[in-house]
Structure 1
Amino acid sequence: MAANSGDIFSVSAPAVTKELKQERAVRTRERVLASAASAFAAKGYPAVTILDVAQSAGMTKGAVYFHYENKDALAVAVTELFNRRIGEIARAVEELGLPPVSAVAELLIRTAVAFRDETALQAGARLQSERQLIGAQIPLPYEGYTDLITSWLAKEVAEGAEDGAPTTLATVLVSAFFGAQHISWVLNNRADLPERTIAVVRAIIPCAEEDIELCPSAPRG
């Protein structure tokens, strides 16, 4: 029995060690990415250096380069993180089962709150505005977001509750929202973005007041 136990441990130990190393590598990569997002959000792509990211993450430049080839690779990774987070917000709204216009308003409001509070979204937005300065192709902004809003508004049209072309309305909403987030960033560090977002929805969809009332994330009062 003792020999068998020894055999078991001798076989499993390397696997456990490998798994622990992989977990550490994932955590390190996430720390680097979080530090890069903070740096891009605060300073903008041109001003950020690998040394900035390394110092913020509490590691060497070599450790950063081990996970990301260069600053362009970090910018791409942060932009992908931005897109994943937007997708998570959208899926959470879909799970609420709200009426279409309420779902659109709730999505915009939750996105506004995330822009106000989350570094990854702030970094992603800044990188999009600086995309021509980045030496790599980063994902195009807001296409999936606009398509999703279009699909929700199309359901509203099919139900006869809203006039207008869903694609045009979605494009105008998304353009107005992301313009509002930029203005809110410049003027108020995005502190008033949820309120600006409600104003955008009310202005573009004047009959949306009852739908806004159904939004759990809508600012009250």
Structure 2
Amino acid sequence: MHERAADTRRAVLQAAAHLFFEQGYAATSIADISELSARTSGAIYFHYAGKEQLARAVVEAHFAAWPALIARHENVGAPALERLVRLSYAVARAFRDDVFVRAGARLWAERRSINVEMPPPFLDWIATVEHLLDEARAEGTLAAGAEPVRDATTLVSAFFGLHTLSDALDERRLIEDRLTAFWHLMLPALQGAPAPAALLDRVREDTASLPR
């Protein structure tokens, strides 16, 4: 019984994420989710009080993807700035390929039309980037003019702005190329001994073996 209930919740949430991403919140109905998930509306309402709660559950799944991804990259044996760049590519691939991540991002953008409180989106990212910049400073690899508290917010703002632009232009198909251009611009201001091409070459060459 518990396994069947868990299967239903997974199927409903997967269908909801797909539809919320493809159609948006307002255009998606419980009937649409019922049809795609092959579960009755009654079964959906048994697990979720309504469409608002489903939307929040998808956004929560979006945020739940990040801690393990961050932890895996924090444990990679590489300098802090390289780990930051590696993490950025993993996040970019998730935004391109993971339906929960993509749906969560769209729902957050549409949050004013959803009558439910959503988790805050960027505070943990800012803290993560600030921590990595602090590590780079401790290693002696951070540029003298860089300031972790100030620059973490700027980097997160620019990074997610890049995602918004890439989504609008080509649904993030070229996100990794655009991210490479982003780091060619940013790294000379962050590296104590600027060598962005060498760092990016190492990261891109190792793409196939990076933690996903």
Aligned-residue offset at 1:168: 2.0
What is aligned with 2:183?
201
The equivalent residue for 2:207 is 217
Amino acid at match of 2:171: N
Letter in 2 for 1:51: A
Matching residue of 1:61 = 41
Amino acid at match of 2:68: E
Where in structure 2 are there 5+ consecutive unaligned residues?
A: 189-193
- Give SS of 2:26's match: helix
- Structure 1 segment 164-183 matched on structure 2, within 5 A: 164-183=146-165
* Cα distance in 2, alignment partners of residues 50 and 149 from structure 1: 38
Asked if residue 34 in structure 1 is aligned to residue 24 in structure 2, the reply is: no
After superposing the two structures, state which structure 1 stretch, 146-155 or 87-96, moved more.
87-96
Distance 2:75 2:124 in 1: 18
For residues 98-144 of structure 1, what are the alpha-carbon distances to aligned partners after superposition, in whole Å with 9 as ceiling and x for unaligned? 21001110111011111111111110110111111111111111211
Q: Of 9, 23, 26, which residue of structure 1 is paired with 2:3?
A: 23
**1:118 partner letter:** D
Q: Tell me, in whole angstroms, the C-alpha distance in 2 between the residues paired with 1:146 and 1:212.
A: 22
| Cα drift, residue 166 of structure 1 | 0.9
TM-score, with length taken from structure 1: 0.85
Q: Please state if 1:127 is matched with 2:119.
A: no
Describe how 1:55-134 pairs up with structure 2 within 5 A.
Answer: 55-134=35-114
* Displaced runs of 4 or more, over 6 A: none
Deviation at 1:198, TM superposition (A): 1.8
Structure 2: distance between partners of 1:117 and 1:73 = 24
The alignment of Structure 1 onto Structure 2 pairs a total of residues equal to 198
**Over aligned residue pairs, what C-alpha RMSD do you find?**
1.4
Percent identity for Structure 1 against Structure 2: 34
- Counterpart of 2:191 in structure 1 is none
Q: Which of the numbers 123, 126, 150 marks the counterpart of 2:130?
A: 150
1:46 is paired with a residue whose SS is: coil
8 Å Cα contact 2:8-2:39 kept in structure 1? no
Deviations 1:7-42 (CA, angstroms, capped at 9, x unpaired): xxxxxxxxxxxxxx1111111101111111101110
CA distance in 2: counterparts of 1:112 and 1:183, whole angstroms: 13
- The one-letter code of the counterpart of 1:71 is K
SS at the partner of 1:214? Answer: helix
Q: Which amino acid aligns with 2:159?
A: F
2:173 pairs, out of 184, 191, 196, with 191
CA shift for structure 1 position 160? 2.2
> 1:3 maps to what in 2?
none
Q: Tell me if the contact between 1:76 and 1:138 (Cα under 8 Å) persists in the aligned partners.
A: yes
Provide the secondary structure at the position in 1 that maps to 2:207.
coil
